[in-house]
Structure 1
Amino acid sequence: MSTVRSLTASCRLPRLETRMLLEQALRRPRAWLLAHDDEPLPEAAVQLFLGWVRRREAGEPMAYLLGEREFMGWVFEVTPDVLIPRPDTETLVETALDIIRDRSGVRVLDMGTGSGAIAISLALACPGAVVHASDASNAALAVARRNGERLGAAVQWRQGDWYAALADVEPGFDLIVSNPPYIACEDPHLVLGDLRFEPATALTDGADGLRDLCAIVQGAGAWLRPGGWLWLEHGWDQAPAVRALLQAHGFAEVSSRCDLAGTERISGGRL
């Protein structure tokens, strides 16, 4: 019979990953694992754990194995239908909050919402805001809706490709945010690490990495109110190009902000 002690000793994964997978397979907290490390474990849970170990050894992201990832202090469901929320994207949320915090009735749009992490985080932090979120993928929107319902966030979900999702929505947003596909289709990172397992259509635009960013900037003027803001996440080397796009399409106060690693990760401006 397998025990916590024997499984931990035989597992080649890092200790933290081993513990996290055991906790999930057994549906028990860390304190229970420590207090019952020599007790026989249910065979079904053991086989579930061993299956996850094999998948993790093959490189599958921990977030997909556990089915969740923390973002902005909230735990979001994640599946292979959505990108895994990353700390870099918290820069986008924090910048958005600087604009809308303490404003009642402010209208916000998050495009390419994926798991809903951005839209839901904004709705929870600013309950007076009217938040819309869109995605071209019905599967991604299903995940986002479940996250919104579980966390109690008031978000209006819409399916469609960029602004096409807003056919029945009045223009006049105070803020548009997006973390669109921005990796060039020939970028070698797409076949490395976690990216191998994430949805390709959420990572790359199938072109040079600027196509979707350009489409969002070009269309924003019809949907923002005068004085409204647009902020976009982008690649580590794309800030100059995105700033140029914003300036060319009538945005002022254009600037970029850095992520935790000091990389220019988001750029935005005011219409």
Structure 2
Amino acid sequence: MARAVALLRAAGIEDPARDARALLAHAMALGPERLSLHVGDPLTEGQARAFGAAVAARLARKPVSKILGRRLFWGLEFRVTEEVLDPRPETEILVAEALREPFSRLLDLGTGSGCILLSCLRDRAGASGLGADLSAAALDVARGNARALGLGERAAFRAADWSAPGWAAGLAEESGRFDLVVSNPPYIAAAEMGGLAPEVRGWDPALALTPGGDGLDAYRAITAGLCDLLAPGGRALFEIGPTQGAGVAALLAAAGLGGIRVLPDLDGRDRVVGGRRPG
């Protein structure tokens, strides 16, 4: 572990000791909190190989969560792969706002690992939800997470492409309308991609990071379909980048929503925009 910490530190990893502990515990099939109880144990040959491979992956700037294959979010454990966006703590602001009012039918657009949809459903007994995504591989991950969390009967998943003509009307015709629509769509502008951390740029799917251009295309497409998707009085909530609050709020207003609010994250940066369909 000491050698791993030194290697990770030399590579510029932000918290090398934390990462080395997590990777060693994973190689030994232990919970991280139990590692100190086994620190004197010799590694088996297989454990040593697994630890070496994990450290090599981290040196290549693969995120620890994707080496372990799991990420804690909203107090729940989600399986994550290279086919889905790695859930981030700031996205919990969106979940908290979603849970601020009751809902019975929830739509999560660009569901990825399903972390937003499933976190909301776990805290709303009796509610049901639909997760939609363009990626078939992401939908497979989300379905697996729903089963693992005991939410398979309340969460459904389907393919959807919000860039396709009539997508929202077709989805509403098949699935009905929703009293809450949430989304953490790709919102990074093309010019900003080069400045992302290598853990993000190299290991999260580009489809989940950027729509190209100014980063607002997904919001334009989704807000244009909101009146097809939302029941009267229903809410829409979006995660945004820190400079996009005014732009996304204007799109919600143009779509006919009222009560528009821009909410900050714990660092005071704009993080969530929400509005309500009149009714």
TM-score normalised by the chain length of structure 2:
0.88
Query: Which residue in 2 is equivalent to 1:198?
Result: 204
Query: Which residue in 1 is equivalent to 2:178?
Result: 173
Q: Is the 2:172–2:228 Cα contact (8 Å) retained in structure 1? A: no
Query: Which residue in 2 is equivalent to 1:158?
Result: 158
Q: Is the 1:68–1:77 Cα contact (8 Å) retained in structure 2? A: yes
Q: Which amino acid aligns with 1:114?
A: G
Q: Which amino acid aligns with 1:199?
A: P
Aligned counterparts of 2:29 and 2:133: Cα–Cα separation in 1: 32
Query: Which residue in 1 is equivalent to 2:136?
Result: 138
C-alpha RMSD over aligned residues:
1.7
| 1:30 CA drift (Å) | 4.4
TM-score normalised by the chain length of structure 1:
0.91
Residue aligned with 2:234, SS: strand
Q: How does 1:188-227 map to 2 (within 5 A)?
A: 188-189=193-194, 191-196=196-201, 197-227=203-233
Q: Which amino acid aligns with 2:160?
A: G
Aligned counterparts of 1:76 and 1:170: Cα–Cα separation in 2: 26
Aligned counterparts of 1:41 and 1:125: Cα–Cα separation in 2: 41
**Structure 1 unaligned runs (5+)?**
1-7
Q: Identity across aligned pairs (percent)?
A: 42
Q: 1:220 to 1:31 in 2, by over 3 A?
A: closer
Query: Which residue in 2 is equivalent to 1:121?
Result: 119
Q: Is the 1:171–1:224 Cα contact (8 Å) retained in structure 2? A: no
Aligned counterparts of 2:34 and 2:276: Cα–Cα separation in 1: 52
Q: 1:89 to 1:189 in 2, by over 3 A?
A: farther
Q: 1:144 to 1:190 in 2, by over 3 A?
A: farther
Q: How many residues align?
A: 260
Q: Does 2:18 correspond to 1:20?
A: no
| 1:112 CA drift (Å) | 0.2
| 1:54 CA drift (Å) | 1.2
Q: Is the 1:173–1:225 Cα contact (8 Å) retained in structure 2? A: yes
| 1:170 CA drift (Å) | 3.7
| 1:141 CA drift (Å) | 0.6
Aligned counterparts of 2:39 and 2:208: Cα–Cα separation in 1: 41
Residue aligned with 2:116, SS: helix
Aligned counterparts of 1:201 and 1:30: Cα–Cα separation in 2: 32
Q: Which amino acid aligns with 1:219?
A: G
